[in-house]
Amino acid sequence: MKEKGRPPYYEVIRDPLLRYMVRRLRLLWALEHAANLMSWDLETHMPREGIRDRSAALEEITALMHSIATSSWLREMIEAAQERLEELNDYEKGLVRVVAREVRIATALPEELVRREAKITAEATKVWEVARKRSDFNMFKPYLEQIVEIQREKAERLGYEDHPYDALLDLYEEGLRTRHVEEIFSKLVPATKKVLDEVRRRGFYPERHMLEDKEYDVDKAREMVRRLLGLLRFPLGERGRVDESAHPFTIDMGVYDVRITVRYEGRDFKRFVYSAVHEFGHALYELQQDPRLDQTPLVGGVSLGVHESQSRFWENIVGRGPWFMPELKRLADETIGLTRGVDLLELYRYVNTVRPDVIRVDADEVTYNLHIYLRFTLEKKLIEGSLRVDELPEAWNSLMEELLGVRPRNDAEGVLQDIHWSHGSIGYFPTYTLGNVIAAMIWRSLGGPDAEMLHRLDIPGLQEWLREKIHIWGKTYPPRTLVEKALGAPPTADALVEYLEWKYTRLPDKVEELLNPQR
């Protein structure tokens, strides 16, 4: 029975001491709520000069959050709770794990280091923008050298068992280790190359499609996105918003206010369609959590990899599947109109072009992971000290050529293409491939090539399945445990290899029958 005035989390957090801790941590929760709203505004509506005060205000909030996470009362409470873990339920254990992890990370990284990193990365990001425009790695080099040094220092302070890169991976994906990533790539890279050879030999999936050059009307595109989100049952206006920004993203202010952004470039409509579906996948994860976790440290996606699995599942497996083509054609016919007279097979081939290219963000689902493998290989070497920053551009270009058979013509197309390193994010890239890996495990759990819910394009059914297995738990279980519980095994490359082989080598033979969902 629900008692009046009791917060919803009382139903899952029963331990009096932990309830008290959650109540005291509400300030941290509220600060994050405010910081997220400020960041959303910064990317969508804020006038350009507003950045001067906004970044200063965000820095103060971050410092305040850091001081709460390192306060002695919190550490004492967590230590006390850790001594009686066996008395606690799964939610309470999760709460202790999540808060202990935050405390451990915040304590290991002194405020001086955090501020030093914030300062250098803020400068580095500005320099990177100019360096990329001029395609001049030497401009960015001294900043990257400092950033790598800071990351190595962080790794030492955070501690690790086998490899300093482990400590950085763990910041983005709790429990992920270098050896896990190596194991995934050791199977995925050769399998991908084989699939790619087959795709080229066969020619069913084209390298280019004439629809890529077609221009669309942006107002009509906005209408298409609204209808697309309606089809996906995104609660626009109730618990969701869609806005525009230079780089699409998802951000939430709790489970009742989840926002995504889209970018319209004016041509090649699959780009805005699939970035909207991608962000929708992230948003659905936030929206479908157990509302009893709201306003506690347990709310929010459990890790970047699991989060990315949700966006990639909707984008690639649902949205780029043959079953999605009738709806996509109907939406496009009724809005931007570029698909009238284009049949479902052509539409399918347009949204599934496969083209080995130098730019990661434009990569298709076959070649994408090779871009991540390249970054993983180089990052690991930088952190262990076996590669110097000044050797990076050449190492990048050679590895790119070896993996994808293409060579960047300059630094802008090569080592300078991503913003991540300028932010200090080293150890982040592997979570993208982990997302693809977990998305394919979801596909396999749904039945793989025979997945009924995909064949019928049963959107509510898929959402309910994901809610029950994954979304509802928030951060209750560590990511590897959650994946094991929900999908039967910890992340391995098998399902992704199976998916790519099926879609790119066997599906073409029966594409006609799959293009119309069997409702």
DSSP 8-state secondary structure symbol assigned to residue 2: P
Question: CB 473: neighbour CB atoms within 10 A?
Answer: 23
Binding mask 113-152 for Mg ion (x = CB under 5 A): ----------------------------------------
Binding mask 263-302 for Mg ion (x = CB under 5 A): ----------------------------------------
**Which of the stretches 219-227, 306-314, 316-324, 379-387 binds Mg ion when contact is defined by CB under 5 A?**
306-314
CA distance 498 to 449: 9
**Which of the stretches 65-73, 106-114, 215-223, 308-316 binds Mg ion when contact is defined by CB under 5 A?**
308-316
**Which of the stretches 223-231, 307-315, 352-360, 507-515 binds Mg ion when contact is defined by CB under 5 A?**
307-315
The residue (of 275 and 397) whose beta carbon lies closer to Mg ion is: 275
In whole angstroms, the minimum distance from the beta carbon of 99 to Mg ion comes to 26
In whole angstroms, the minimum distance from the beta carbon of 317 to Mg ion comes to 14
By CB under 5 A, residue 436 contacts Mg ion: no
In whole angstroms, the minimum distance from the beta carbon of 420 to Mg ion comes to 13
**Which of the stretches 103-111, 252-260, 309-317, 375-383 binds Mg ion when contact is defined by CB under 5 A?**
309-317
User: At 514, which helix (H) or strand (E)?
Assistant: helix 511-514
User: Facing residues of 252 across strands?
Assistant: 258
277 closest CA partner among 245, 323, 229? 229
**Which of the stretches 68-76, 218-226, 310-318, 385-393 binds Mg ion when contact is defined by CB under 5 A?**
310-318
In whole angstroms, the minimum distance from the beta carbon of 311 to Mg ion comes to 4
Token duo for residue 201: 């030999």
The values of phi and psi at residue 262, to 5°, are -135, 160
User: At 416, which helix (H) or strand (E)?
Assistant: none
Do the Cβ atoms of 164 and 154 come closer than 8 Å? Answer: no
Give the rounded distance of the alpha carbon of 481 from its chain centre. 19
The residue (of 251 and 514) whose beta carbon lies closer to Mg ion is: 251
In whole angstroms, the minimum distance from the beta carbon of 428 to Mg ion comes to 11
DSSP 80-101: HHHTTGGGS-HHHHHHHHHHHH
β-pairing verdict for 258-262 and 240-244: parallel
The residue (of 342 and 434) whose beta carbon lies closer to Mg ion is: 434
Binding mask 461-500 for Mg ion (x = CB under 5 A): ----------------------------------------
The residue type found at 91 is: Y
The values of phi and psi at residue 255, to 5°, are -80, -10
In whole angstroms, the minimum distance from the beta carbon of 282 to Mg ion comes to 6
Burial class for 243, CB neighbours closer than 10 Å (0-12, 13-18, 19+): middle
**Which residue from 311, 339, 433, 476 is in contact with Mg ion, where contact means CB under 5 A?**
311
The residue (of 311 and 436) whose beta carbon lies closer to Mg ion is: 311
DSSP 8-state secondary structure symbol assigned to residue 236: B
Closest CB to Mg ion: residue number: 311
The residues in 215-254 that bind Mg ion, with binding defined as CB under 5 A, are: none
DSSP 8-state secondary structure symbol assigned to residue 262: E
- Report how many residues bind Mg ion under the rule CB under 5 A: 1
The residue (of 22 and 229) whose beta carbon lies closer to Mg ion is: 229
The residue (of 94 and 301) whose beta carbon lies closer to Mg ion is: 301
In whole angstroms, the minimum distance from the beta carbon of 468 to Mg ion comes to 22
CA distance 134 to 286: 39
Give the rounded distance of the alpha carbon of 84 from its chain centre. 35
279 among known catalytic residues: yes
Which of 32, 117, 279, 286 is an active site residue?
279
Question: What are the distances in angstroms from CA 228 to CA 38, 55, 312, 317, 356?
Answer: 27, 34, 16, 16, 29
The residue (of 9 and 421) whose beta carbon lies closer to Mg ion is: 421
**Which of the stretches 303-311, 332-340, 351-359, 360-368 binds Mg ion when contact is defined by CB under 5 A?**
303-311
User: At 5, which helix (H) or strand (E)?
Assistant: none
The residue (of 121 and 311) whose beta carbon lies closer to Mg ion is: 311
491 closest CA partner among 215, 304, 320? 304
Token duo for residue 257: 């206010």
| Residues in touch with Mg ion (CB under 5 A) | 311
Give catalytic residues, as residue numbers: 279
